[in-house]
Amino acid sequence: TYLCVCLSPPLKMACGFCSLRPTLTSLFSSSHALALAPTPHWRSSSLRVSRALSATTLPISSSSSSFFTWDDVFEIGRKESASPQNASSDLTGFLEKIDRCNRGSEKLVEFIPFVIEEQIVGYIHKGFTEYLREFHDTFTFSKNGCVGGDYVTLSLMFEKPEDRTRAVADVIKILGDKGILPGIRNELYPVKPSFNAPAVFSLERAAAPYFGLKGYGVHMNGYVERDGQKSLWIGKRSLTKSTYPGMLDHLVAGGLPHGISCGDNLVKECDEEAGISKVIADRAIPVGAVSYMDIDQYCFKRDVLFCYDLKLPEDFVPINQDGEVESFKLIPVAQVANVIRETSFFKANCSLVIIDFLFRHGFIRPESSGYLDLYRSLRNGDCS
């Protein structure tokens, strides 16, 4: 998720305890939420108006995701989808999906910084810190430091990244066993202040939102062009998935684990999720990134999704290899646009990546009211 706002300013360590630079006072003050997430004042009033979804629209909640079928998808998709102009005619439904990924900015004041090696690497909800206080040998809490704010760090006894990884992993296991941290995946994510910075330690993927870490992923639009018409391969997630079961998804997408590049991760995901060979996957073109900041109770997702386009052979048929996708369908892009605009069938962050595709492939046009507002909203967060 990008308005280039630095969320990871350097901190100054002194005397074995954290002493923060005076220049960071505003960040830790009661008004620091404004520094974290600029108010989207640039949105036009026409796009701020809430739009009633059609009677066939399902709630965003993943609990209702299994109650729609491919027939529902195609029925909604065919409505007014004959041309790119129709995808561009009403942008409000698209903005609603972007807003869904950027909830809770008013709750930023409920979070405090998570500091490692003189840098802010995340944000932790004050309520969640109460669970961490039990592990005083691992976590250290600063109260009303020189900048007038609290923050969380790790004990100074953990000097090396691998030591921090092991110590925090022990805590995560206990919290997972207690049901405080659900959905443990045994997959490590790097903890770092920005994409190109070295990792200061690694953390269980399921715990990352509870520590407000920067998260990175790769999402690929796999499309086919036939008789001048572009169609996207869309997946329907398995009903056994722990997150967003039964919802629509990209042909290929995945988080970026520790120790793998975006390109290599994409090739791996292409094979696992769609049976795409490395020869074909290597043709995927990196086309930019989208970002968002989403707060839901104790979870703070600060995600950046690297976007790829892959033009596939007309006779290509995806075959899922890892059991995470129930089925695939090839759908005209204009119909996909309708489904995003009119329903909540798609996994939330997939909508952002497809809306970006609509811009780049001419399905959303500059003549549309709110064009630039919608474009900017796709990059709502820290771009580092």
- On the question of pLDDT at 9 being above 50, the answer is no
Give the pLDDT confidence score for residue 343 in this predicted structure: 95
DSSP, residue by residue, 10-35: B-EEETTEEE--GGGHHHHSTTHHHH
pLDDT at position 113 is 95
Rounded CA separation 371/361 (Å)? 14
How crowded is residue 102: how many other Cβ atoms within 10 Å of its Cβ? 20
Within 8 A by CB and 6+ apart from 113, the residues are 27, 28, 120, 122, 123, 124, 149, 151, 152
44, pLDDT greater than 50: no
- Placement of tokens 């869309």 in the chain: 234
Using pLDDT thresholds of 50, 70 and 90, give the confidence band for residue 243: confident
As a whole number, mean pLDDT of residues 24-31 equals: 36
Specify the pLDDT at position 87: 52
Report the share of the chain in percent with pLDDT over 70: 78
Least confident range of 17-21, 231-235, 293-297, 335-339: 17-21
What's the mean per-residue pLDDT of the chain? 83
- pLDDT by residue (tens digit) across 258-286? 889 999 999 999 999 999 999 999 999 99
Asked if 351 and 302 touch (Cβ cutoff 8 Å), the reply is no
3-state SS class at 174? helix
Taking the C-alpha atoms of residue 237 and residue 231, their distance in angstroms, rounded to an integer, is 19
pTM: 0.81
What's residue 118's pLDDT?
Answer: 85
Q: Name the one residue in this structure whose structure tokens are 């990352």.
A: 208
Please give, one letter per residue, the 3-state secondary structure of 60-77.
CCHHHHHHCCHHHHHHHH
pLDDT at residue 258, as a whole number: 85
Q: How many helices (H) does the chain have, and how many strands (E)?
A: 13, 15
Tens-place pLDDT, residues 53-107: 333 333 333 444 458 999 999 999 998 644 555 555 689 999 999 999 999 999 9
Residue 6 has pLDDT above 70, yes or no: no
Torsion angle of alpha carbons 278, 280, 286, 290, nearest 10°?
-90
Give how far Cα 188 sits from Cα of 8, 70, 174, Å: 21, 34, 16
Who contacts 300 (Cβ-Cβ below 8 Å, separation ≥6)? 111, 122, 123, 125, 209, 212, 293, 294
The yes-or-no verdict on residue 46 having pLDDT over 60 is no
By the 8 A CB rule, do 116 and 161 touch?
Answer: no
Nearest to 139 by CA among 108, 174, 177: 174
The pLDDT of residue 90: 80
pLDDT at 64: 43
SS3 176: helix
Rg, the chain, Cα only? 21
pLDDT digits (tens, 9 = 90+) for 362-384: 999 999 889 999 999 999 867 67
Given this model, what pLDDT does residue 66 score?
55
Percentage of the chain exceeding pLDDT 90:
71
245, burial (CB in 10 Å: exposed 0-12, middle 13-18, buried 19+): middle
Count CB atoms within 10 A of the CB of residue 42.
12
Residue 88 is predicted with a pLDDT of: 54
β-bridge mates for residue 302, sequence order: 214, 293
Buried b (16+ CB within 10 A) or exposed e, 1-30: bbbeeebbbebeeeeeebebeeebeebbee
pLDDT digits (tens, 9 = 90+) for 144-154: 553 447 899 99
Structure tokens that stand for 327 in this block:
């089925």
Residues 225-244, mean pLDDT to the nearest whole number: 93
Question: Which residues lie closer than 8 Å to 357 by C-beta, 6 or more apart?
Answer: 221, 232, 307, 309, 333, 363
Of 329, 334, 332, nearest in space to 318 by CA: 329
Task: Specify the pLDDT at position 195.
Answer: 94
Tens-place pLDDT, residues 160-202:
999 999 999 999 999 999 999 998 888 899 999 999 999 999 9
